[in-house]
Amino acid sequence: MAGINSSQNRENPFKQNWFVTATWLIVICYVVYSFQAMGLSWERFNDGLGHASNLLGRMVPPNFSRWSLLLSGLIESLEIAIISSIFGIFISLFLGLVAARNLMPTWVSTPVRMLIALCRTFHPVIIAILFVKSVGFGALAGILTLIVASVGFIAKLFAEAIEEISLKQVEAIRATGAGFTSIILFSVMPQVFSRFIGFSTYQLDSNLRNSTMVGIVGAGGLGGTLFSAFQRFDYDFVAAILIIIIALIMFGEFLSNIVRRIFR
């Protein structure tokens, strides 16, 4: 290509120096130490493969005889995921706007960013335990958990997307005397809407997976059924539940593709 000298800017990205070499040695020593400290060995891994083979043998064929229990758990997981996604996305939309540092003063954006960071501090299972202790067992704890998880993810990415927009359109709309709402609707949202849809569909997919996981601690959905089946060593029923979870994730992928096509 004209104007570009192919002999320039071709420095070796893996060039050696004493700092890089020392860093790799430290990393390798730490990994070896960690293996020793945790008692990891090839013999243990090999034994584990034998146990896994026995487990898989007991899972085949899957047992779908209790289909009504599977169906009720599946429906509850789906409801938890969709309700939490809708509320989480709606809340994240407003928090993301308020957290954007190029739209809001520091004294407004900083506390909101701290709140968003707090929402993604803990794993959903830990948050689910807190809500189960607060509101009791069932779907409500799962919905509240996934709303918090959604806010921690989407609001952060949405705020960062807004901070990357061109402010020329914002200034042009502001010059007409438009209010804050009009500025958001006609200058900010058109620049970030497609990315917001992408974040939202990814979070819906994530919530479908997490809705089956939070049930393990009593927050509703298929997770509770799965945990009970493991406790009873009912592995053929476990296989049936895992197949249903895979089908649920595939449905989420299909749903995400439809949403992307609609808002493309």
Write out pLDDT tens, residues 184-198: 888 888 888 888 888
| pTM greater than 0.85 | no
Domain definitions of the chain by residue range? 70-263
**Mean per-residue pLDDT for 17-33?**
90
Q: Which residue is it, tokens 């993301």?
A: 96
Measure Cα distances from 43 to 29, 47, 110, 248 in Å.
Answer: 21, 6, 51, 36
pLDDT of 4 above 80:
no
* H helix and E strand count, the chain: 12, 0
- Tell me yes or no: is domain 70-263 CATH 2.60.120.330: no
- Residue 61: is the preceding peptide bond cis (ω within 30°)? yes
pLDDT of 17 above 90:
no
Write out pLDDT tens, residues 78-99: 889 899 999 999 999 889 889 9
